[in-house]
């Protein structure tokens, strides 16, 4: 049975690129363009794993992680961002809120596939909380 992944990101080109990567690895891919739609989608489909951007309109990734984990404590979430938060390490905050791992954009397709596969196997991925 194919694993399912929910990609939450406001950049449609980035989302489409990730969708293509995961389609090629036999994942069932769901998409949402912001945190609000992402939470609603997760409630409907409860995917195996969630990839969420940190900076988005409507509801940012930190709020999205918090809301999904509050309702679904077993949810497996990986945070992504290409923006440096300055003095506040948003990846560290994402980890405190329940993200299993974080990855900085841009990243190579094989890196995200490796992290997602390790997460789904229940193995601790190499920490990306830099």
CA distance 31 to 14: 11
- Please report the beta strands in the chain, taking only residues with DSSP state E, as ranges in sequence order: 4-8, 28-32, 49-53, 77-81, 101-104
Question: What element of type H or E holds 18?
Answer: helix 12-24
Q: Among 70, 24, 77, which Cα is nearest to 49's?
A: 77
Which region, left, alpha or beta, applies to residue 114 given φ > 0 means left and ψ of -120 to 50 means alpha? alpha
Instruction: Kindly list the structural domains of the chain, giving each domain's residue range(s) and its CATH number in brackets, ordered by start.
Output: 4-120 (3.40.50.2300)
CA distance 107 to 20: 15
Q: What is the pTM of this model?
A: 0.91
pLDDT digits (tens, 9 = 90+) for 1-11: 789 999 999 99
Low-confidence stretches of the chain (pLDDT beneath 50) = 86-87, 127, 129-130
Which region, left, alpha or beta, applies to residue 90 given φ > 0 means left and ψ of -120 to 50 means alpha? alpha
């Amino acid at each position: 049975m194919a694993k399912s992944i929910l990609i939450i990101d406001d950049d449609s080109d980035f989302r489409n690129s990730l969708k293509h990567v995961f389609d090629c690895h036999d994942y069932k891919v769901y998409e949402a363009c912001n945190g609000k739609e992402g939470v609603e989608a997760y409630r409907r489909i409860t995917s195996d794993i969630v990839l969420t951007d940190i900076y988005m309109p409507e509801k940012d990734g930190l709020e999205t992680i918090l809301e999904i984990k509050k309702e679904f404590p077993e949810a497996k979430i990986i945070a992504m961002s290409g923006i440096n938060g300055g003095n506040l390490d948003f990846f560290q905050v994402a980890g405190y809120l329940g993200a299993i791992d974080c990855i900085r954009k841009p990243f190579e397709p094989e890196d995200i596939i490796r992290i997602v596969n390790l997460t789904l196997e229940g193995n601790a991925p190499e920490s990306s909380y830099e």
